[in-house]
Amino acid sequence: MEQQTFKSLLNQFSFDDILPEFKALYQQNQPKQVQHANWEAYRSVYQKLQMHDVSESQYAIYLVSRWEGCSPMIDMNCSVYDPKDEDSDYYPVASYSPWSALLGMDIHIDEDVTITLQELTAGLLWEITYYGETEEMIQEHLKKMFK
């Protein structure tokens, strides 16, 4: 697979292109809420991300298989790390900020993961909106979680 960034994936696909995969993730992770999901709110976030500035980062996004064998489900197996530091800590994509850095990071996919680019894009959207629809909402949520 050609080297991708989250931003390059957002520019390759419209929200409608990844919506079936996003709905499948939602159904698998939030089956009780899927019928109440506001798809237009997610569309709005997606479109804002498409227009968002990108900044450089030494970090990359790393996707590995889930230990339960749920691949290609991307949530909770997608981390940020420093590819030049073999002792690098891994951070969840869901709580990583700023988004401008996430958008510009190269994506490294473990060799045992089979995933389409649409699934990858949907999964990254799932991750980035896991705690909220904006960076500010996410930071507020994390502050409450770790008080």
Tell me: the pLDDT tens digits for 93-138?
777 788 899 999 999 988 888 889 999 999 999 888 876 666 676 6
The confidence score (pLDDT) of residue 146 equals: 64
Give 71-90 as a DSSP string: TT--TTSEEEE-TT-TT---
Alpha-carbon distance of 147 to 143, in angstroms, equals 6
CB atoms within 10 A of CB 142: 15
Q: Where are the beta strands (DSSP E) in 5-147?
A: 60-63, 78-81, 91-92, 107-109
Whether residue 48 contacts residue 95, with contact meaning beta carbons closer than 8 Å, is answered with no
Q: With CA atoms as reference, report the closest residue to 77 among 98, 96, 99, 61.
A: 61
Q: Where are the beta strands (DSSP E) in the chain?
A: 60-63, 78-81, 91-92, 107-109
3-class DSSP state of 52: coil
Whether residue 134 contacts residue 142, with contact meaning beta carbons closer than 8 Å, is answered with no
Model confidence pLDDT, tens digit, residues 50-105: 999 999 889 999 988 765 445 444 444 788 888 899 888 887 777 778 889 999 99
Model confidence pLDDT, tens digit, residues 14-51: 999 999 999 998 888 888 988 999 999 999 999 999 99
Name the DSSP class of 98: -
Alpha-carbon distance of 89 to 67, in angstroms, equals 19
